[in-house]
Homo-oligomer: A and B are copies of this chain.
């Protein structure tokens, strides 16, 4: 499959690298084609790895992944262009972490809205699926590194789009039974507001690979 990955940070590089490894063709997009990090990534990732502008990457992808920081995601997507997103599955991995006020980071949007919802509203023709934002980049592409089962959360308004993202997660190593659909795109609020908990869990356990397994009582 052709995938456009927006963002050249750790999350973008990690996801894009693994997606090439498992056989996809990926264009990494950044503000301007020729970005140093994107060029270095494409050179190292080998066949099937390309780079370009946000618009190049979005236009290239049958699926587009927003791996930019949540505070700049709407700008990045505006640069990508509505026409390059229309009808496509748009996986939003972002978290609106604001480090400008010191540690711990706050969220630039939360409680009554979320980045996932903002993106879906701004691009009603895109099929937005929030996913992968509740684990670190290494776990996203190597879930087996934790000994016990743990969950990948997804949400979005389009069932077929969510099924496609679940399929992509399968190809990254996530067992189907660990992928948990949290409902419509407003679930982004829950998934983004979970971040302060995730940061505390990482600190308490001393592991950035921390994640959670959802537990319910056995059926009566």
Bound CA span A203–B216, Å: 12
**A100 interface contact, C-beta 8 A:** no
Taking a contact as CB atoms closer than 8 A, the residue among B104, B149, B193, B210 that contacts A186 in the complex is B104
Residues of B within 8 A of A216 (CB): 146, 205, 207, 209-211
Q: Name which residue of chain B comes closest to A189, CB basis.
A: B196
Q: Name which residue of chain B comes closest to A145, CB basis.
A: B217
Contact in complex: B183, A190 (CB < 8 Å): no
Residues of B within 8 A of A163 (CB): none
Taking a contact as CB atoms closer than 8 A, the residue among B186, B193, B209 that contacts A110 in the complex is B193
**A44 interface contact, C-beta 8 A:** no
Contact in complex: A147, B218 (CB < 8 Å): yes
A side interface size, CB within 8 A: 44
**A121 interface contact, C-beta 8 A:** no
**A82 interface contact, C-beta 8 A:** no
Contact in complex: A213, B212 (CB < 8 Å): yes
Residues of B within 8 A of A110 (CB): 110-111, 193
Contact in complex: A146, B111 (CB < 8 Å): no
A212 to chain B, nearest CB (A): 4
Bound CA span A217–B150, Å: 11
Residues of B within 8 A of A204 (CB): 180-183
* 25 pairs, CB–CB < 8 Å, chain A vs chain B: A107-B111, A145-B217, A146-B216, A148-B213, A149-B215, A155-B200, A180-B205, A181-B204, A183-B204, A189-B196, A190-B199, A190-B200, A193-B193, A201-B214, A205-B214, A207-B216, A207-B217, A209-B216, A210-B216, A211-B214, A211-B215, A211-B216, A212-B213, A212-B214, A213-B215
